[in-house]
Amino acid sequence: MNAASSRNVNDCGEAILSALMLDAIAASFNKPSFAKGRSFLRFQKTFNSVFSGRGQSRLPDASTLERIHARLVQTDLDRLGERSRVQRGQRLRANGHTRKAWRRLTSALPELQVLTNLNELLCTIPIEQTSPWRLFFATRPLGATEINQLDPKTQRDVRLVCQWLKCIRGSRVNVSGSTSDSNNEPIVVKSAGSPEKPLIAITSYRTEQRCWEGRVLGTPDLTRRRFDQLAKLVRNLGKLVPRPHYVVFPELSIPREWVMEVAASLQRSGISLIAGVEYEVDISGGRRLCHNPVFMVLRSTDLGYSTYRLLRQDKTIPALEEENELRRLSNLELVPKEPFDFGFLKRRDSRRPVFQHGDFQFGVLVCNELTNIAFRASYRGDVDALFVVEWNKDLKTFAPLVESTAYDVHCFVIQVNNREYGDSRVRIPAKDDWKRDVVRLQGGENDYAVVGELDVPALRSFQSHHRSATAQRAVFKPVPTGFQISVWRSTNPCLHDGE
């Protein structure tokens, strides 16, 4: 949108103008020149009727629209508009032309400084109909989580979220700070009233091997039976007493098409979600790639009111068996997707990201990443808890790793594995052996969840002494040699004087 347009209409009018402009652009995709001209005239007429009586803005001409088309590029936003169909476990393949138009349209959005509702915008039409360009615009503006999906930079800088909201809502949001781009500081999500002692619900949820294979082969299992299985567990999570602050799902457990629906359902109960999501496959650009993401949908007051923000972190290195099977079935290569690898693609010694939600600081590892001693070491002193989401049958190898991590990183370790194999637990570096597993789940024929409490203040207080207490009444094991608590977590200001 040009500067003259921005000056001549108010913020609300700017959002309407942008939506109408996008409508004209969507209508003109792959149409002959006379049809493009007609759609532009229709847009101009609509604009004039909406803004009659106001100072008229200079409208873009047909050549401007052509230049915008020339700059459009593809994005990875696929199938985000199919939510209503997938809710009932039914999948209708979007017409190839429709998906192409949608990708071009979303690519144009930063150029136009406007967004449309990713979850409700695209209405994929029945295959038998002839017009593949039937796009419609939702009346509800985008929320913060949808903006986070479209623009990855907003996940690290809340000021960018505010800029998007100003564009699509016409509202100004002033934030006192922003998420740091520094690799040495936590990625901050403010949450007023966040609990001192977080309650974590670890799920014992089964995902079948055929679901994994279906996603890899391009035929994901989005059946009514699987949807009902997941929906039943999600409903039960909202009824838990005490109600958890976080719910954690295993690696590759939730279909990509349903993850935001699960998050929205948990949001209604005030619960944040940390979940392993099924592969995102990208076979464009001459390479056959897939990404293994963890989605974190966290309660937030960054914008001055209660909402949720989305953060994503991708698995950096595949397990050997996973790598072989991906190659064998579909010749896919698992890599992290920039920027969700947080610099790992550029620097292999890059520090693992630390997330600060309210006052709670945690890190995330995906399955075999736990075996990387450098990854574990990078969290020492910086986190209260380490979430490890897994699809892992090698329990005898991972059990001692979880136990040693709780001690040598000296933090709570939340391991959540596929129910097929079990050993999901909350491990703490307690002095007494019988206190070390707050929760431990194994086996069973039904999906369920158990809540455990993390006494974060007690752990920080214990770690904030120059020497650990060893008396009989000490709750935790002494910190390991060389341990140093970060200044963000320390409760002892004198410990960091002069730093």
Paired tokens of 229: 């299985």
Cα 322 to Cα 209: distance, rounded to the nearest angstrom = 12
User: Taking CA 289 as the corner, what is the angle to CA 288 and CA 291, rounded to the nearest 5 degrees?
Assistant: 160
Q: What is the pLDDT of residue 472?
A: 75
User: What's the average model confidence in pLDDT over 1-17?
Assistant: 37
Cα 134 to Cα 27: distance, rounded to the nearest angstrom = 8
User: What's the average model confidence in pLDDT over 59-63?
Assistant: 46
Q: Is the peptide bond before 400 cis (omega within 30 degrees of 0)?
A: no
Helix, strand, coil share (%) of the chain residues, nearest 5: 35, 15, 45
Cα 114 to Cα 22: distance, rounded to the nearest angstrom = 9
Q: What is the pLDDT of residue 42?
A: 56
> Helix axis angle, 158-169 relative to 11-27, nearest 10°?
80
Phi, psi of 437 (to 5 degrees): -100, 100
Q: What is the pLDDT of residue 253?
A: 97
Phi, psi of 435 (to 5 degrees): -100, -5
| 484/102: higher pLDDT | 484
The closest alpha carbon to 205, from 224, 231, 185, belongs to 231
| 427/135: higher pLDDT | 427
User: What's the average model confidence in pLDDT over 131-159?
Assistant: 63
| pLDDT tens figures, 322-332 | 999 999 999 99
Q: What is the pLDDT of residue 346?
A: 78
Give the bridge partners for 363, in sequence order: 386
Q: Is the pLDDT of residue 96 over 60?
A: no
User: What's the average model confidence in pLDDT over 154-183?
Assistant: 68
Q: What is the pLDDT of residue 40?
A: 52
DSSP 476: B
Cα 99 to Cα 95: distance, rounded to the nearest angstrom = 6
User: What's the average model confidence in pLDDT over 292-304?
Assistant: 94
Specify the 3-state DSSP secondary structure of 352: coil
- Give the CA-trace dihedral at 357, 362, 365, 369, to 10 degrees: 150
User: What's the average model confidence in pLDDT over 189-200?
Assistant: 92
pTM to 2 decimals? 0.75
Mean pLDDT for the chain overall: 76
Q: What is the pLDDT of residue 64?
A: 47
Cα 399 to Cα 436: distance, rounded to the nearest angstrom = 13
| CB-count burial class (<10 Å; 0-12, 13-18, 19+) for 295 | buried
Asked if 381 and 489 count as a contact pair (C-beta separation under 8 A), the reply is yes
For tokens 């290195």, name the residue: 317
Output the 3-class SS for 73-115: CCCCCCCCCCHHHHCCCCCCCCCHHHHHHHHHHHHHHHHHCCC
Q: How confident is the model at residue 37 (pLDDT cuts 50, 70, 90)?
A: low
Q: Where are the alpha helices (DSSP H) in 151-220?
A: 158-169, 209-216
Give the bridge partners for 274, in sequence order: 248, 296
Q: Which of 2-6, 84-88, 317-321, 394-398 has the lowest mean pLDDT?
A: 84-88
Q: Which of 2-16, 33-47, 485-499 has the lowest mean pLDDT?
A: 2-16
Q: What is the pLDDT of residue 342?
A: 86
Q: What is the pLDDT of residue 111?
A: 39
- Distances in Å between the Cα of 54 and the Cα atoms of 16, 24, 40, 170, 475 are 14, 21, 20, 17, 69
| pLDDT tens figures, 216-270 | 999 999 898 999 999 999 999 999 999 999 999 999 999 988 898 899 899 999 9
Paired tokens of 37: 């001209």
DSSP 430: B
Q: How confident is the model at residue 116 (pLDDT cuts 50, 70, 90)?
A: very low
> Helix axis angle, 96-112 relative to 11-27, nearest 10°?
150
Q: Is the pLDDT of residue 365 over 70?
A: yes
